[in-house]
Each structure stands twice: as structure tokens, then as C-alpha cells.
Amino acid sequence: MGLEQPGLRGALKSLVTLGPARNDHWIGLRTALGIFLPLLVLMLVDRLDLMVFVVFGAFTGVYGRVDGYWNRLRMQVRSGLLFFAVITLALAASTWWVAHDDPELKSWQIVGATTLVAGICSVLAGLLRLRPAGSLFHIFAFAAIASIPQPVPFADALIATGATMALAVGIGAAGAVGQWANVWQRTKLPPLSDNVKKAIWWEGLFHILTAGAAGALANIVGSQLAAGHNYWAMVAAVVPLAGHTTRLRVRRGIHRVLGTLVGMSLMAALILINPPLWVLVGCIGLFQFMTEVLVMRNYFFAQIFVTPLALVGVTLVTGLSTAVMYDRIVETVIGSLVGIIGVLAGSAFGRMLLRRRAEQA
């Protein structure tokens, strides 16, 4: 793919180079249906107040990029249970703990609690062998729901979440129809080595440090810049941690910022056109499809569609607004910078440990 070429030429080439296709259109279709169909139902029954729970429940479908129906079922059930726990905890925090009437205290509560979620879910995702790894989606889900000042009744929220997760799992398994002989073929997961377990815990620590630092900086600097949605900075901060090398991790952070800036053009076009609600719901499905088709092949291209996907989701009920566009840019820049600095610091720390071990050998 050319992603490992050093220097400015390699960095520029990485923006326009597509990696090899791996039947990405199928997971794109599964995730698009998994989010479009529940939103369509909510629109028809006039319950878009449950939209956030449906959207995050649909994230279960993202964890289906694995061969074999049994393997996919195993991963999606594990990811769904973890998401359900995170969403339940976030709803409880919003209802009984977060001080919605004190914006300053609320912002620090969200950052503190989300930082813990970032570390815990990163470790659990590693131990459960979830792919994509890390806690990006869990950070997003927890912080967004915990920030809602007047959450819907518990039962309604959890039913909508659970039903959407069940749909995602069902869509993921739908291809098994007529192929029963292959359904029970499974890949036995080998036990995690001590080195892998240690790496998982280190990743959890880095998720805590980067997410916490980004959230704190968003509270301090973002507030001075009149930007809200501090958790967007926390999400952006952990994006670079998913790369396999330091160079790829730094480029993911840069791609996050550049893709966000380009994606704003799609959001601006939607605001200008101001289409009816059913068209916006269709756009969410389309953007989800394009994101999953591209995310493993070129992160920059994927972010172009992630940006309007997130912003339309935020403003779907209240009406499209340009205010969130400013917030998205500011918080993404803050978070990506923190994430890149964290990657470079972590790389330097790793090299230092290796030198010390070599000296002691």
C-alpha cells in the first residue's frame, strides 16, 4: 500500500493510496442495514429520542470483520455484551450522578469517568480478542449518553439498544442460511501469551493517559475557544493508538484531522440542501456503508464520511446546524495532537526500556 514509505512523499501518497479490498462491501452493507433499519423504525413510530441508543447499539455490527459465521457470532456477541454494559452504565451516570445543572462540574465528571472507561474497555477488548481493538467506540458511546441531560426511561433505552444489537448479530449471521455445514466451523483461539497480556495492559494505560489528557485539554482550551463536545477530543486522541507502527499511528492522527476537514464539505452541503428527515436517515446508512468500505483501506477517505455521519447523528433530532461543525474541528485537532504526542512519547519510552534491557543483558 506504500504506507510505510518514509518522508513527505510517503505521507502524501498515504492520503490517496487504497489498500487491498477484503470484501469490505459486505461488512459495509451489514453495518449500513444495521443502523438504517432501526432508525427507519424509530422515525415511523416517532421515537427519534431513542436514536442515540440505536446508533451505539448498531456499533455491534462493526465487530464482524472476521471469517467464519461462528467466529463472527462469537465476536459480535462479546462486543455487544460489552457495549450493553457501557451504555447501561452511561445511562445510570446521566440519570443519577452527572451534574447537568453545573456545566463546569459536568464537563470534568464526563472526562474523568470516560477516561476510566477508555482504559477498562481497551483492556477488555484486548482480552476478548475484539477487532477493531481499543476503546474508541466505547469512549464515544459512554460520553455521549452520559452527557444527555434528560435521558429517556431506562426500559425504553435498553430495549432499543438490545433490539438493535440483536438485529446486528442477526444480519451478521444471515449469510449462514443455506450453508449449515459451515456454520459450526470455528477457529479455536490460542491462549494469550504473557507478552501479549502485558502489551494489552500497556495499551490500556496509554488509552487512559491520552484520553484523559485530551479531555482535560479540551475542557481547558476548548472552553476558551467556545467549543463543546469534549469527548470528541478523547475519541480523536485514541485513534492513533490503533496503528501497528509509530509511523502508521502518527499518520492515522493526521488523517483524522485532514479527513474531518474535507468531510465538512459534505456536512455543509447537507445543511445547504436541508433535505427531509427520511433522506437524512438514508444518508446515515450511506455514510456508514462508505466508512466501513474504506476504513481498512484508507483512513483519510473513511474520515470524510465519518464526519457527516457523526454530525448528522448529533443534529438529526434538533435540526442540522453549523455550530457542531466548529466543535468537531476544534476538538478533533486537540485530540489528534494529544494522540500523536502520546504515540511519540510511548515510542521513546519503549526504546528506552529496550536499551536498558540490552545494557542489563
**pLDDT tens track for 173-223:** 887 666 655 666 677 788 899 999 999 999 999 999 999 999 999 999 987
- Whole-angstrom Cα distance, residue 266 to residue 225? 24
Cα 129 to its chain centre, rounded Å, is 17
- Positive/negative CA dihedral, 83, 89, 90, 95: positive
Ramachandran bin of 226, using left for φ above 0, alpha for ψ from -120 to 50, beta for the remaining angles: left
- Whole-angstrom Cα distance, residue 343 to residue 239? 10
26-75 residue pLDDT tens? 999 999 999 999 999 999 999 999 999 999 999 999 998 887 888 889 99
Prediction pTM value: 0.92
pLDDT for residue 13: 80
For residue 286, CA distances in Å to 54, 152, 215, 275, 289 come to 16, 27, 30, 15, 5
Q: How many CB atoms lie within 10 A of CB 4?
A: 12
> In the chain, which residues have pLDDT < 50?
1-3
Q: Give the three cell numbers for residue 43.
A: 422515525
